[in-house]
């Protein structure tokens, strides 16, 4: 421990005194400041915009006059996805998945208005977020600062001196790894500080968002990842013959882990498990619905049989003798059937997406960058699971809205035609009785369970770093 402490202190003294460290750290601070400011402005602007639009949609819903409930079901409303505060740290998939959906009876619309839909193709190159800096840029900085930690000592002969004085390779590798990890903490500190400031500036944090628990999880994941990066940099330096080969090896590792593998894995997942396009999906849903019955077609065989069975069950000769509005009953049955078809098709689509994502998830066992990315997005509430939760909540709300309007029609609308040619309608007070849509975030336990592979891979890579130190200490040579 004493040798490790001395070697770590010596490493820190050399690096901190270098001019390159000063330049790199100042550039890092500028990048952190830029990412923090843009992330905060994006979050506050979009969050307030979505809250305002949700309120306007609710006001528009309640402002409707007395009306037929089925017309209100088709009038519909909007559901807006709320941003998690930790999306200021990791944008994740939010720029691509959309944030609003129009809810109406008999039809399930897609989530629209994504940032990618309004931007140029430059978005595919990534956005500068705090997460991107920690996961992509900081490893490159640490490789640059640590590539010659041991390799340079081989070149100038000081490594032999250290070994002759009783310092073993394990102590040397441990000391330099601790020193480089300390530098990583110095670089990570401003990121943590600005994130805490961003969260502190929020007047209220979402109930059920578990912001602080998720923040601790993010910090733990970043520490494990940066320790691994530090160990890899020092071990490669110890195994390399000179500083040049160490730098080239580390740059190759960074390029492979940060750029090549993540993009390649996504392409492989899409190729192995192709997903249907929107037109193909909508066509399949419409085809299935037409096969089971059209509730708007009075001559549809399925609903004709349904009408006969209802009349028989109530010992009635016509719908006018039924104790409820039959059209509302028919619409309720049609909504149930179409929702079942849509949800079945949607689950099949989800299964394809999950198989695609599984390719990436399992590749986190060979690429720690993929693991920390998936873990970060899950905790920040910006991954596919979070998007799917919003879509499911919106569909549940849409279904309840349509069925509530159908039940109001069954209860308050007569089966007879109005005598004065005025359409049947109910009081507008019923609109306000139906609760507004509220987007909620999933509990941390559900998040961890859904992204268990990313958490497990990050922990396994952290444990593997200690094995790597031991292996390198055995294989390393003084020359």
Q: Which range, of 83-97, 180-194, 284-298, 364-378, averages the lowest pLDDT?
A: 284-298
Interatomic CA distance for residues 143 and 254, integer angstroms:
8
Domain boundaries, the chain: 2-475
DSSP count for the chain of H helices, then E strands: 21, 3
Query: Which DSSP helix (H) or strand (E) runs through 390?
Result: helix 384-412
3-state secondary structure at position 29: helix
Q: What is the DSSP letter of 414?
A: -
Q: How far apart are CA 340 and CA 106, in angstroms?
A: 11
Q: Picking from 71-80, 167-176, 181-190, 356-365, which range would have the lowest pLDDT averaged per residue?
A: 167-176
Could you tell me the pLDDT band of residue 421, with boundaries at 50, 70 and 90?
low
- For the record, the structure tokens of 448 come out as 């961890």
pLDDT at 372 over 80: yes
What share of the chain in percent tops pLDDT 90? 51
Distance in angstroms (rounded) separating the CA atoms of residues 171 and 142 = 20
Instruction: Give the tens place of pLDDT for each residue, 262-298.
Output: 999 989 998 999 888 888 888 888 888 888 877 777 6
Under DSSP, is residue 99 helix (H, G, I), strand (E, B) or coil?
Answer: coil
Say which residue, 224 or 171, is predicted with more confidence. Answer: 224
Average pLDDT in the 79-87 region? 92
Reference 404, options 311, 312, 295, 331; nearest CA is: 331
CA dihedral 95, 97, 99, 102 (to 10 degrees): 150
pLDDT bin (cut points 50, 70, 90) of residue 126 is low
Nearest to 234 by CA among 154, 177, 184, 152: 177
Return the top range by mean pLDDT from 101-110, 121-130, 427-436.
427-436
Question: How does residue 318 score in pLDDT terms, banded at 50, 70 and 90?
Answer: confident
Cα separation, 137 vs 141, in Å, equals 6
Which secondary structure element, helix H or strand E, spans residue 376, and what is its range? helix 368-380
Mean pLDDT throughout 93-122?
73
Whether the predicted pLDDT of 474 surpasses 80: yes
- In this predicted structure, the answer to whether residue 51 has a pLDDT above a threshold of 80 is yes
Measured CA to CA, the distance from residue 458 to residue 217 in angstroms comes to 12
Residue 157 confidence class, pLDDT cut points 50, 70, 90: confident
Share of the chain above pLDDT 70, in %: 95
Beta bridge partners of 101: 79
Please classify residue 48 by burial: count the beta carbons closer than 10 Å to its beta carbon, then call 0-12 exposed, 13-18 middle and 19+ buried. exposed
Confidence of residue 122 (pLDDT cuts 50, 70, 90): very low
pLDDT at 121: 46
Q: What is the pLDDT of residues 321-362, one digit of tens each?
A: 888 998 889 889 889 988 998 999 989 988 999 998 899 899
What confidence score (pLDDT) does residue 184 get? 96
204-208, 243-247, 260-264, 363-367: the lowest-pLDDT one: 204-208
Chain mean pLDDT for the chain:
88
pLDDT bucket at 118, cuts 50 / 70 / 90: very low
Residue 426 phi, psi dihedral angles, 5° rounding = -125, 170
Look at the block and give the residue holding tokens 């309608």: 425
Residues sharing a CB contact under 8 Å with residue 345, sequence separation 6 or more, in sequence order:
281, 284, 285, 288
**Which residues, other chains included, contact 309 with Cβ-Cβ below 8 Å and sequence gap of 6+?**
none
Supply the pLDDT for residue 241.
83
Choice between 290 and 126, residue whose per-residue pLDDT is larger? 290
Q: Residue 75 is inside which H or E element, if any?
A: helix 69-75
pTM confidence score:
0.88
DSSP secondary structure of 279-329 = HHHHHHHHHHHHHH--TT-TT-HHHHHHHHHHHHHTT-SSGGGSSS-HHHH
Distance CA 306, CA 416 (A): 20
8 Å CB contact between 285 and 342: yes
Average pLDDT over residues 71-88: 92
User: Average of pLDDT values for 455-475?
Assistant: 93
SS3 83: coil
CA dist., res. 160 & res. 167, Å (int): 10
* Average pLDDT, integer, range 172-180: 92
Residue 109 CA: distances (Å) to CA of 77, 100, 323: 12, 10, 34
Q: How far is CA 209 from the centre of its chain?
A: 14
Q: pLDDT for 197-229, tens place per residue?
A: 999 998 888 877 889 999 999 999 999 999 999
């Amino acid at each position: 421990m004493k040798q490790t402490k001395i070697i770590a202190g010596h490493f820190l003294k050399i690096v901190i005194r270098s001019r390159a460290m000063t330049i790199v750290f100042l550039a890092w601070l500028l990048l952190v400041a830029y990412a923090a400011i843009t992330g905060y402005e994006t979050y506050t602007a979009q969050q307030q915009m979505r809250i305002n639009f949700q309120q306007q949609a609710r006001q528009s819903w309640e402002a409707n006059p007395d009306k037929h409930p089925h017309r209100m079901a088709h009038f519909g409303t909007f559901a807006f996805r709320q941003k998690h505060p930790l999306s200021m740290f990791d944008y994740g998939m939010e720029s691509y998945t959309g944030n609003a959906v129009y809810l109406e009876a008999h039809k399930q619309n897609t989530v629209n208005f994504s940032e990618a839909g309004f931007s140029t193709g430059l978005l595919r190159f990534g956005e500068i977020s705090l997460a991107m800096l920690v996961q992509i840029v900081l490893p490159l900085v640490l490789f640059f600062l640590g590539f010659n930690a041991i390799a340079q000592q081989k070149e100038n002969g000081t490594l032999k001196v250290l070994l002759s004085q009783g310092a073993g390779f394990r102590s040397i590798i441990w000391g330099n790894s601790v020193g480089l990890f300390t530098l990583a903490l110095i670089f990570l500190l401003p990121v943590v500080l600005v994130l805490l400031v961003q969260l502190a500036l929020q007047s209220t944090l979402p109930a059920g968002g578990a912001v602080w628990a998720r923040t601790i999880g993010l910090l733990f994941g970043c520490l494990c990842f940066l320790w691994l990066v530090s160990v890899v940099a020092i071990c490669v330096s110890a195994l390399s013959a000179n500083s040049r080969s160490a730098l080239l090896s580390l740059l190759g590792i960074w390029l492979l882990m940060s750029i090549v593998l993540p993009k390649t894995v996504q392409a492989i997942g899409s190729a192995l498990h192709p997903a249907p396009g929107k037109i193909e999906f909508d066509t399949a849903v419409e085809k299935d619905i037409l096969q089971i019955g059209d509730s708007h077609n009075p001559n549809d065989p399925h609903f004709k049989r349904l009408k006969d069975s209802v009349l028989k069950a109530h010992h009635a000769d016509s719908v006018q003798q039924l104790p409820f509005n039959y059209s509302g009953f028919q619409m309720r049955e049609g909504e149930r059937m179409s929702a079942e078809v849509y949800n079945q098709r949607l689950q099949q689509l989800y299964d394809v997406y999950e198989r695609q994502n599984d390719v990436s998830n399992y590749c986190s066992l060979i690429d720690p960058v993929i693991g920390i990315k998936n873990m970060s997005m899950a905790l920040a509430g910006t991954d596919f699971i979070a998007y799917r939760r919003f879509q499911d909540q919106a569909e549940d709300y849409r279904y309840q809205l349509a069925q509530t309007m159908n039940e109001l029609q069954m209860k308050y609308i007569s089966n007879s035609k109005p005598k004065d040619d005025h359409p049947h309608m109910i009081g507008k007070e019923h609109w306000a009785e139906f609760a507004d849509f509220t987007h909620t975030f999933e509990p941390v336990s559900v998040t961890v369970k859904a992204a268990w592979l990313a958490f497990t891979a990050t922990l396994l890579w952290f444990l593997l770093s200690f094995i790597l130190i031991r292996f390198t200490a055995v294989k390393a040579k003084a020359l």
